[in-house]
Amino acid sequence: MDTHELTPGEMAHRSGVAVSALHFYEREGLIHSRRTSGNQRRYARETLRRVAFIRMSQRLGIPLARIREALATLPTDRVPTSKDWAKLSAGWRQDLDDRILHLQRLRDNLTGCIGCGCLSLKTCLLTNPGDVLAEQGPGASRLRCIERLCDTLAAMELALQGSLFEHAERRRLGNGAWVELRSGWLPDADSLFEELMDTIPWRAEQREMYDRVVDVPRLVSFHHLVNEPVPHPRLKQIRRRLNDTYGGELGEPFTTAGLCMYRDGNDSVAWHGDTIGRGRTEDTMVAIVGLGATRVFALRPRGGGHALRLQHRHGDLLVMGGSCQRTWEHSIPKTSRLVGPRISIQFRPHGVH
């Protein structure tokens, strides 16, 4: 093998993205690989810089199409130099300045736009870029369009409000695993907590343990978020925001929401990894939104070792990624402190449990 090439596993480990995300970037024409005689992928070492550029651009909210256009300006007959990358990055400045200005205007006028819904081509700050409705003819397509617009605006409002208050910290755990904690990620968490307490169809479960049946120490509720009714519309809005933030790195969307209610300090979840399904063999992500009382979220290497204890607070987002489900375990331990109820919402991609 060429010593200047990397396998998908090596590329994933070095770049911090899942193998599935690398495949996704290839399908989108953002990176390229060659195939060996055994039909295995091999990446040039300079692809690491391309992946880093893609990830940073996505975090800034730049669409994949624009990222693809920018990467296409790099030379193909040689390895891009630092001057090539500096020239490319300089080209983003005006685009980013325009986005910042647009977000500032949107922040100042979003509430009024949501209530108005006029979509005026002359005066609306969310100007319709093209009269696509005319192509669909008369009828209820307009109603469906407005529903989609409302979902999009709600997700944008969540993202905009959350970005003003959140603080993100990603920790490398080793063996390709990482955990990211975003404090204050979810705006208006108080009302969502109260509404979920009342509207979710909470279910008590039992399980066999050794020679007896015991109560599961928490209440649960599980929901598919694609093409099925959901118990609260903000679950889909949160899913949309997660997909916008992590979908490129994950290489696929989040599709399910598992909810747990920890009624007091006696409710808990034991050490485990989400290894039922694809999580046993593939890198993946699990995103958890915390509502209500603060609880310790603990992680430790499989087979034992020092445990990392994180404070998962009201409105925080915690994301486990890479090999975390295979190489680490996590838990919500019991506590003797007097704590109120807590709801955790776990978002997962298809086939991960």
pLDDT band at 130 (very low <50, low <70, confident <90, very high): very low
Which domains are present in the chain?
A: 8-90 (1.10.1660.10), 153-348 (2.60.120.590)
Residue of higher predicted confidence among 128 and 349: 349
- What pLDDT score does 116 carry? 62
Q: Are 1 and 42 in contact (CB under 8 A)?
A: yes
- What pLDDT score does 149 carry? 55
d(CA 343, CA 257): 12
pLDDT reading at 287 higher than 90: yes
Q: Are 293 and 340 in contact (CB under 8 A)?
A: yes
d(CA 149, CA 213): 48
d(CA 90, CA 37): 40
Instruction: Find residue 204's DSSP bridge partners.
Output: 219
| pTM metric for this prediction | 0.58
Per residue in 242-275, pLDDT (tens digit) is 998 898 888 889 999 999 999 999 999 999 998 8
SS3 65: helix
SS3 18: coil
Residue partners of 269: CB distance under 8 A and separation at least 6:
217, 218, 260, 331, 332
- What pLDDT score does 162 carry? 47
Residue 275 burial (CB count, 10 A): 16
Residue 88 burial (CB count, 10 A): 15
